[in-house]
Amino acid sequence: MIREFAAIDVYYLLLAARWTLALTALAFVGGGLFGIVVALMRVSPFMPLRALGAAYVNVVQGIPLLGWLFVFFFGLPILAGVQVSSWVAATIAFSFYAGAFLGEIWRGCLQAIPRQQWEAGAALGLGFGEQLRHVIVPQAVRVAIPPTVGFLVQLIKNTSLGAVIGFVELTREGQLTNAATYRPFTVYIAVAAIYFAMCFPLTQLSRRLERRLRVAR
């Protein structure tokens, strides 16, 4: 039975947005761990590590995120006999996916630091790890903030794909609400407004951090 779009529907959309943010946070943390490893492998002086890191990035970026959701949700029970919930499958898939993109972003930021900085660290007798820690990473962080926040914003919006494996987040709740009210314009305007409210503060925070780091440079 069709009913009117009411304040209770906005409340349900806001509740669903919690799961959007929760999945984004878990995926960003997991993807960040993958990304750090991938970025270090990509700038490593050892060719096998660089090749392995490049292979991971190429494979993950070459397959749509939807494909990775299917792999972990449907593939794990078939291949490994492990039943996973939509929460677990979505978290692993998004972390796996985010790791490739964050790794490539951070690899580019590390390599954006002039080669002379690496040479100066080597001249001081610093090893590869010490060069990264004391010379390269502090400078690369300033470069990394805008693209990292930009990817985080994309990650928030990409969580909508979790609905295909039964994960109910903001977009899926919007679909359910629209099916009950048949008010697509009103429902999706509300959904878009909530997404904007989640993403806009991140871009503002990024700009503020950029200004602070530029002054401190």
pLDDT at 1: 67
**173 inside domain:** yes
Which residue range(s) make up the domain with 141?
7-216
Q: What pLDDT band is residue 213 in, cutting at 50, 70 and 90? A: low
**121 inside domain:** yes
The string of pLDDT tens digits covering residues 82-141 is 888 999 999 999 999 999 999 999 999 888 888 877 777 777 777 777 877 777 888 888
Is residue 215 predicted with pLDDT exceeding 60? Answer: no
Is residue 159 predicted with pLDDT exceeding 50? Answer: yes
For residues 184 and 178, give the distance between their C-alpha atoms in angstroms, rounded to a whole number: 6
Residue whose token pair is 């050892």: 46
* Angle ∠(48,96,108) on CA atoms, nearest 5: 55
Instruction: Indicate the average pLDDT of the chain.
Output: 88
**17 inside domain:** yes
DSSP structural state of residue 43: T
Segment 144-159 shows an average pLDDT of 90
**89 inside domain:** yes
66 exposure class (CB count in 10 Å sphere: 0-12, 13-18, 19+)? middle
Q: What pLDDT band is residue 210 in, cutting at 50, 70 and 90? A: confident
Q: Which two tokens stand for residue 152?
A: 């985080």
CATH of the domain at 56: 1.10.3720.10
pLDDT at 211: 75
Could you report how far apart the first and last alpha carbons of the chain are, in Å?
Answer: 61
Is residue 217 predicted with pLDDT exceeding 70? Answer: no
pLDDT at 214: 62
Q: Show Cβ contacts of residue 180 under 8 Å, excluding neighbours closer than 6 positions.
A: 2, 3, 9
pLDDT at 141: 84
Q: In the chain, helix, strand, coil percent, each to 5?
A: 85, 0, 15
> What is this structure's pTM?
0.88
**2 inside domain:** no
Q: What pLDDT band is residue 79 in, cutting at 50, 70 and 90? A: confident
Give the residue from 124, 151, 120, 150 showing the smallest Cα distance to 136: 120
The string of pLDDT tens digits covering residues 166-202 is 888 999 999 999 998 989 999 999 999 999 999 999 8
**207 inside domain:** yes
pLDDT at 113: 83
**24 inside domain:** yes
User: Are 24 and 152 spatial neighbours (Cβ–Cβ below 8 Å)?
Assistant: yes
**1 inside domain:** no
Three state DSSP letters for 120-171 = HHHHCCCCHHHHHHHHHHHHHHHHHHHHHHHHHHHHHHHHHHHHHHCCCCHH
How many domains are there within the chain? Answer: 1
